[in-house]
């Protein structure tokens, strides 16, 4: 699970030979969410991992949006996701992951819930400069009974804290995975996703 598996008809990165369509050997498709507050790196994360050209619905932020979007701590942010991000990652001949990135602002909560329908689990991206903004997202996941893991996106210049302090600050259950990742880095992002999938598999086996 730690790396994408190559096989006949797939590239070394697990990509279908034609670059777009899945092989007819695929038997299992898993829907995963990539969620978190505004400007936490969800679009970057999906784009980093997707083997196909990711679907993005980013729009330029306007002065009107400044009245509702908190830009504190995210200087330089000029676009925002208004619907979803979508990407795909093939893990083997038979297994493919579909990644759905959801918008982080409260006004998109209704869209967020629609996107979450049918998801097996979620990866919550957080920023140590704005941890408190993650609570609403985690609360929605718990309301929808969607299991999740938490990944601290390591922004340049963001403060670093010990894992136990972060776990306490986020009020995570003991079994909820917590890790660091760099959404710009393929290896780091892949490991975060693998940690989530392994957690979901363990949960499913325990509940079987």
Task: Please check whether residue 16 is in contact with residue 10, taking contact to mean a CB–CB distance below 8 angstroms.
Answer: yes
**What is the band of 20 on the pLDDT scale with cuts at 50, 70, 90?**
low
* Portion of the chain with pLDDT greater than 90, in percent: 49
Residue 19 counted as domain residue: no
pLDDT tens string 113-126: 888 899 999 999 99
Task: Please check whether residue 85 is in contact with residue 54, taking contact to mean a CB–CB distance below 8 angstroms.
Answer: yes
Residue 167 burial by CB count (10 A; 0-12/13-18/19+): exposed, middle or buried?
A: middle
CATH of the domain at 126: 3.40.50.300
pLDDT of residue 13: 44
Between 91 and 133, the higher pLDDT residue: 133
pLDDT of residue 154: 94
Residue 36 counted as domain residue: yes
**Dist CA 50 CA 90 (whole Å):** 9
Residue 14 counted as domain residue: no
Residue 10 counted as domain residue: no
Instruction: Work out the average pLDDT over 31-58.
Output: 86
pTM above threshold 0.85: no
Strand pairing partners for 90? 96
- Residue 137: which domain range? 28-207
pLDDT tens string 168-186: 999 999 999 999 999 999 9
Q: Domain tally for the chain?
A: 1
Closest to 155 measured CA to CA, from 48, 40, 78: 40
CA dist list (Å): 200 to 1, 60, 72, 83, 183: 13, 36, 34, 26, 21
CA dist list (Å): 73 to 36, 39, 48, 77, 196: 15, 9, 23, 10, 27
């Amino acid at each position: 699970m730690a790396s994408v598996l190559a096989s006949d008809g797939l590239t070394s990165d697990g990509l279908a030979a034609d670059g777009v369509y899945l092989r007819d050997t695929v038997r299992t498709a898993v829907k995963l969410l990539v969620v978190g507050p505004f400007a936490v790196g969800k679009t970057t994360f999906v784009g980093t991992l997707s083997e196909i050209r990711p679907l993005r619905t980013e729009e330029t932020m306007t002065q009107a949006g400044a009245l509702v979007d908190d830009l504190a701590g995210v200087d330089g942010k000029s676009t925002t996701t208004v619907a979803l991000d979508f990407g795909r990652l093939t893990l083997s001949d038979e297994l493919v992951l579909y990644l759905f990135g959801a918008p982080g602002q409260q006004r998109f909560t209704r869209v967020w819930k629609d996107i979450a329908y049918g998801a097996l689990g979620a990866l919550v991206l957080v920023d140590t400069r704005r941890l408190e903004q993650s609570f609403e997202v985690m609360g929605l996941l718990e309301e929808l009974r969607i299991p999740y893991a938490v990944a601290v996106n390591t922004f340049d210049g963001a403060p670093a804290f010990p894992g136990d302090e972060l776990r306490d600050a986020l009020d995570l259950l003991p079994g909820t995975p917590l890790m660091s990742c760099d959404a710009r880095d393929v290896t780091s992002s892949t490991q975060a996703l693998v940690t989530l999938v392994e957690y979901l598999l363990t949960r499913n086996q325990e509940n079987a």
